[in-house]
Amino acid sequence: MSLGIAANHVTCSIIRMTFISLANGITMAGCFFLYASTAVASVVFVYVRLPETKGQSLEDIGVLFAK
């Protein structure tokens, strides 16, 4: 859980530091489109690359992530 919180803080910091200059450079709509497309690409990556662990034992999950 702490890894997720750290990733959230890093991502929020990156957005906070780049938003104004990005919005001035490519318009507000372009800025939101860029952030939304990054979020969609992240969801696709997680869906494709991470295995399903629902209903599996800890030993099976260890084998999945050892590959």
The pLDDT of residue 50: 85
| Each residue's pLDDT tens digit, 11-67 | 999 999 999 998 899 999 999 999 999 999 999 999 998 888 888 888 888 888 887
Per-residue model confidence (pLDDT) at position 25: 92
pLDDT-derived band of residue 1, with 50, 70 and 90 as boundaries? confident
CB under 8 Å to 35, separation ≥6 — which residues?
A: 15
pTM of the predicted model as reported, rounded to 2 decimal places: 0.66
3-class DSSP state of 52: coil
